[in-house]
Amino acid sequence: MVEQKEIDRRKGTTLAEQAADAIRRAIVSGTWPVGSTLPSRTALAEELGVSEKVARGALEQLAAEGLICPRRRTGCEVIALPGAACRGHVLFVLPDGGAGFYAQALCRTVSAVLARAGYLTFTATVGDGRKSGASPIEEFASLASLAIVLHGGKSTIDRLEGKGIRYLTVGEKRLGSKHSAGHIRIRRESGIGAMVEYLLERGARKVAEVRFAGTELDVSAARKLKAAKIETETIEVASGFHQSGLDDAQRSARDAVARYLAKGAKRKLPDCFFFTDDYLAFGGIAAIEEAGLKIPGDVGVVSWYNRGFGPYPWLDIPRLEMDPERHGEIVARAALEVLGKKASGKRTNEFNSLVRSETELTSEFKKGSV
């Protein structure tokens, strides 16, 4: 059986992904061995405490991975992965509460690529501040051939090191050493130079940065804006970074920008609003339009943007774009190379040979049509 406690609506991963993970665990543990039939979609939804729509999404994901096969009238049968038995398991570790669209889309792509190669992926969110007690890392320690850690902290790396699990880290900074199979650096700032050039072309001298409270403007962005003599001011949005979901972040951003515009009625508007997250841009742009301002006639806008998240339904805005699907393919290729070397007994400490052409996940500035 699967249990409702395995579903946590506060996690960064979607309910369908959590439900798929719960069913996957039950299959691996032998609750539903190969050849057995899963309970009906209605029964699974009831056991997990989710809707039938969520259960259907979970089953579709498992079918796409080749773990189950829908049979007419009899339900979903548990089968071996296409072509052979499972070659191994990969644990994808996400930060607890910090997994937004980019992380989820990247994880889905990695899982799909690895599934085609015969590897089964488990997704786990780990709170880095937790020092003791059971965690998904301990749960899968005996299964994982490799862990992929996105934006992991020291305690997460320490847990992996303690269990002797090899891992790839993906993020701004490289952590760990003993069992590290390498690092793929995320360089969100790579498109900032082109963004600053765009602002100068527009004659911008003042930018209002809209960001989540407790976060800071990227050091590289701040340095380039200062060097270009572009003044910046900050509009902080109270909603926690992705933790409250899109609707709350959008509403909070709309309210924050609306307050800023109301208080600044007697002062000169900034030349451009810079949204540090696409969650914020939805609400902030709505507030600008509700105030009767024209984009870009009255004020310009630029936003961080994850390809596939939108597009914005009303504006093709200038953006610093990240592509989680392409980045997921890069991470998956690196993971497969590490897994291939491990199977052949070759050393995997050195990352220099991995995906030589692309070892960074970068952003690209696009001007849009406004």
Q: How far apart are the first and last CA of the chain?
A: 53
Residue 350 has pLDDT above 60, yes or no: no
Residue 189 has pLDDT above 60, yes or no: yes
Share of the chain above pLDDT 90, in %: 22
Q: Within a domain: residue 334?
A: no
Residue at which a domain ends, from 56, 79, 102: 79
Would you state the pLDDT for residue 345? Answer: 47
Place of tokens 């997460």: 156
Q: Within a domain: residue 99?
A: no
Q: Within a domain: residue 350?
A: no
pLDDT, tens digit, 9 for 90 and up, residues 132-155: 444 567 666 667 788 888 887 788
Instruction: Name the DSSP class of 173.
Output: S
Q: Within a domain: residue 301?
A: yes
pLDDT, tens digit, 9 for 90 and up, residues 71-96: 766 788 887 543 345 677 888 888 76
- Which CATH number belongs to the domain containing residue 34 in this structure? 1.10.10.10
Residue 1: give the domain boundaries: 1-79
Q: Within 10 Å of residue 1's Cβ, how many Cβ atoms?
A: 11
pLDDT, tens digit, 9 for 90 and up, residues 163-182: 888 888 998 877 766 678 88
How many domains in the chain?
Answer: 2
- Which CATH number belongs to the domain containing residue 205 in this structure? 3.40.50.2300
Q: Within a domain: residue 49?
A: yes
Q: What is the mean pLDDT of the chain?
A: 79
Task: Based on the fold, state whether residues 74 and 194 are members of the same structural domain.
Answer: no
Residue at which a domain ends, from 39, 62, 79: 79
Residue at which a domain ends, from 63, 79, 95: 79
Q: Within a domain: residue 36?
A: yes
- C-alpha 343/C-alpha 276 separation (Å) is 42
| Over residues 342-361, mean pLDDT | 48
Q: Within 10 Å of residue 323's Cβ, how many Cβ atoms?
A: 20
pTM as predicted: 0.70
